[in-house]
Structure 1
């Protein structure tokens, strides 16, 4: 039995290629399931399987209740047996007890087979899913196992299967069974039947990965792929740039005598590949993207936010080459550059401008300004219409004429755009900022109206006010918006301030008022404490002067007491207080500087002089700060 378990375990490990822990857990689950089925145990009962792979032994432990007499040995056990597994067991406790049935090995082998297979199958699927989920966007190879109208079924590593739908195959490409195929992992999905791996040979990243494999400079980052446009099986354009000076990116991709690029062309079923150098200047980049056609001029129009448009003027004999078969070259160039490209021949561009200058009233001023150039262009076009041969100078004149007109139009667009921005900025100043946070709802406008505005790109009250102030015709042009609705919208915009709540401003003001006293109190505490220190430092100087004056007053009072003995104590007190009040300290008794004079004034704030008739003395009370106890009084005679 020992050898059978060990041999079976090792055989499954080698055959399935799964981790040891996965097979061990599957074997434990199978043993538990076999025990439940053999003794008809409840699923609520705790059952544990312990397997010793070194000895080739296994045991089943089931949770049972400790009782005095056993009536059902599946769920009950006597106290004596329970103490062998749990020494502290008592009657009524639940204890895990070994319950391995007799002849369980044969029963387990028959019952657990399906459970083990299911667990191993689930582990294989999860392992395949985790592995190929990391391979998304990478190239893998496989062997064709089946072909059909739906596509290919390809056998991959780890006994996985991938599918390549017909739309992900290069047109006119045929594979036979047992052919080896390279493809890009486009998507990995989890399904009840296992991981669903979608492969692709038409994805543009498939070309990117092939270039990385064939060109070491791209793999190491010396050459960078900027963009790729591709029509599988027919043609592709790749824009590359060098990250280091002195490197030719196009030459590195093509290779010596085209060795590198030809290997990729063969892999892609003879798909033509144009490698061009990327340039940050859109004019040069668009001109190179239309290669192999030669270009006379590229004129950009960035006024449209939805799509940037470029007008490309080419020589008459290069027009078909620039457009390509069924417009293929122009389509690829537009995808590569992310610009909408309009291609015109030189005679067509000249004819369009001459017709516009003669028939459009808006261009009358421009026609007057460029009258001489227009006459020359008309003469050359007349000769061409008559079938006469034009020399290179004539073509240069036409190129300069078109370039002059297009550049003048570009400057007008820029001026209009600048003026437009100025109008928008002025309108934004008149619109309160909170209006852009108020969404259009039924309280402001009917539901049908704000639904139409929402479809037109106007989502809040601020955007509606901005559109009304800058381009009201655009709102009137929306389907379902008439003059009456426009009048209602104008009325709402005129009363815009009534729709904006003022609560946030009040809350901010209250917060500021609450913060202000705290700030002032902290500032006062910072200022007062240094002043107290200065006052206490100046006390010794002032005390001497005050004591001298008080001694003189006391002597004078004692001399006057003898002749005026009839005065009462109250009269004497009033007399002394009056004398002290009338007495002033001259600046000469102190320092002549203003600083000491300020100290003297501050000192007098914290002292009080009074006469005590019982003691027949004049008392001076000084107020000063005593540590943390606060302010106190100290008496001196």
Structure 2
């Protein structure tokens, strides 16, 4: 008996499977159909197909009570009949489906962090990304809140998990994960792909704003300029992929090993006057020009919040006028012997002096914010000061180790809401 190998080759091309896998599926199907035929004279059977000639050989097997093969002989497969032939077809299809699932799992396992692209398929409350022979699940929690994904639209996502299930592999993708930004920049910026430019850190509030810190391993290559691209083309291409309506803003900042410089860069586009580090509580006190205070804080504290996540430091932002007023009040209290050199009260009167200093500085801060709001456009106005002292907390992560001791001249930051 011979099988048309061209037919198996056709299945190989259609299913995208290895030829040997298709042949093995056929061999399994033939052995199964023989055991169900009326001509079967043995307990078990195995089938081999010559990969060159297509010759089919069937071996009948006799088993003992323990399932061991005690004898084997060659059988000539004869008329299997319609029912047995249908069984062979069903087994073959089942084996091919199983092989496809195994191939899909093998293709995607270990690819967490890779970018995938395809058409959006909305099936009830389930959103899928069609990936040719398979699809990726895009859970609701991994979708951007203010983005509408239309059925049939083309979209990219990042693989975050590959699960092996009874029905094969389930690929889970995300459009909110920071790794999507990393992958998109790698696609758009050749210098990243070549290892010349590195993404050292990223903080993202999907659908709203992302901060990316980059560095260059080549002194002749500007990492920020490489990522922005000529006329901002590369950054805009990433922005288009991150949100269907291009609503997510991207800040590309320069990485620095010195924490003071990194914190200052992370608050871009705001300009920073000074940064004072307090390693004991992981706080960075940042002084900015009065007209930059709202910009440094950001809308609803977003700029400061993302900078804190990017750097790992708790960021306390103050205007120059507010800082000067605070320093003046603390110096008066120190000269009067009400507080010590670290700003700690020495009496109840000292506690009142500290409270008065904080209140006075806060009044200056509020005045600066009001003036700034009147002069700034909506894009650079903070709608809230994010607590009395605008302190931004970093997300839990490995802390950035301070490289230098803080300047002892400024008073320590007062207790404030975060």
Q: Deviations over 1:377-421 (max 9, x none)?
A: x9xx99x98x9xxxxxxxxxxxxxxxxxx8336899xxxxxxxxx
Provide the C-alpha distance between the structure 2 equivalents of 1:118 and 1:366, rounded to a whole number of angstroms: 76
* Residues 223, 241 of structure 1: 8 Å contact kept: yes
* Residues 34, 107 of structure 1: 8 Å contact kept: no
User: Which residue of 1 is the match for residue 386 of structure 2?
Assistant: none
Q: Deviations over 1:63-98 (max 9, x none)?
A: 359xxxxxxxxxxxxxxxxxxxxxxxxxxx943223
User: Which residue of 2 is the match for residue 315 of structure 1?
Assistant: 289
* Residues 298, 312 of structure 1: 8 Å contact kept: yes
User: Which residue of 1 is the match for residue 158 of structure 2?
Assistant: 184
More helix by share: 1
* Helix, strand or coil at the partner of 2:280: coil
Q: TM-score, normalised by structure 1?
A: 0.50
**1:243 deviation in Å?**
0.8
Q: How does 1:365-384 map to 2 (within 5 A)?
A: none
Which residue, out of 158, 170, 176, partners 1:196? 170
User: Which residue of 1 is the match for residue 129 of structure 2?
Assistant: 154
* Residues 147, 176 of structure 1: 8 Å contact kept: no
Unaligned 5+ segments in structure 1 are: 66-92, 368-377, 388-405, 413-637
* Helix, strand or coil at the partner of 1:137: coil
Provide the C-alpha distance between the structure 2 equivalents of 1:10 and 1:364, rounded to a whole number of angstroms: 86
* Helix, strand or coil at the partner of 2:220: coil
Q: Deviations over 1:153-178 (max 9, x none)?
A: 12103x10111122222232223222
Which residue, out of 88, 92, 108, partners 1:116? 92
**1:358 deviation in Å?**
5.2
Q: Deviations over 1:199-247 (max 9, x none)?
A: 1122111111111121112221222211111111211111111111222
2:216 is the counterpart of 1:218: no
The RMSD of aligned alpha carbons is: 3.3
User: Which residue of 1 is the match for residue 382 of structure 2?
Assistant: none
Greater mean deviation of Cα atoms: 100-109 or 238-247: 100-109
Say if 1:119 and 1:224 are closer, same or farther in 2 by CA, change over 3 A: same
* Helix, strand or coil at the partner of 1:332: helix
**1:107 deviation in Å?**
5.3
**1:28 deviation in Å?**
1.5
**1:11 deviation in Å?**
3.0
Q: Deviations over 1:254-290 (max 9, x none)?
A: 1222122122222222221111111111111111211
2:273 is the counterpart of 1:273: no
**1:359 deviation in Å?**
5.3
* Helix, strand or coil at the partner of 2:271: coil
Which residue, out of 40, 46, 68, partners 1:48? 46
Unaligned 5+ segments in structure 2 are: 64-68, 344-356, 368-405, 413-418
The count of aligned residue pairs is: 347
* Residues 155, 241 of structure 2: 8 Å contact kept: no
Say if 1:342 and 1:41 are closer, same or farther in 2 by CA, change over 3 A: farther
User: Which residue of 2 is the match for residue 293 of structure 1?
Assistant: 270
User: Which residue of 2 is the match for residue 12 of structure 1?
Assistant: 11
Q: Which has the higher contact order (CA 8 A, sep 6+)?
A: 2
Q: How does 1:53-132 map to 2 (within 5 A)?
A: 56-64=54-62, 94-100=70-76, 102-104=78-80, 106=82, 108-132=84-108
Q: How does 1:19-30 map to 2 (within 5 A)?
A: 19-30=18-29
Say if 1:95 and 1:223 are closer, same or farther in 2 by CA, change over 3 A: closer
Q: Deviations over 1:272-318 (max 9, x none)?
A: 111111111111111121122222221111124xxx21111223332
Q: How does 1:250-269 map to 2 (within 5 A)?
A: 250-269=224-243
**1:252 deviation in Å?**
1.6
Provide the C-alpha distance between the structure 2 equivalents of 1:303 and 1:354, rounded to a whole number of angstroms: 24
Greater mean deviation of Cα atoms: 324-333 or 136-145: 136-145
2:140 is the counterpart of 1:141: no
**1:187 deviation in Å?**
1.3
Provide the C-alpha distance between the structure 2 equivalents of 1:297 and 1:245, rounded to a whole number of angstroms: 26
* Residues 30, 112 of structure 1: 8 Å contact kept: yes
Provide the C-alpha distance between the structure 2 equivalents of 1:135 and 1:47, rounded to a whole number of angstroms: 39
Which residue, out of 199, 208, 229, partners 2:203? 229
Provide the C-alpha distance between the structure 2 equivalents of 1:262 and 1:275, rounded to a whole number of angstroms: 12
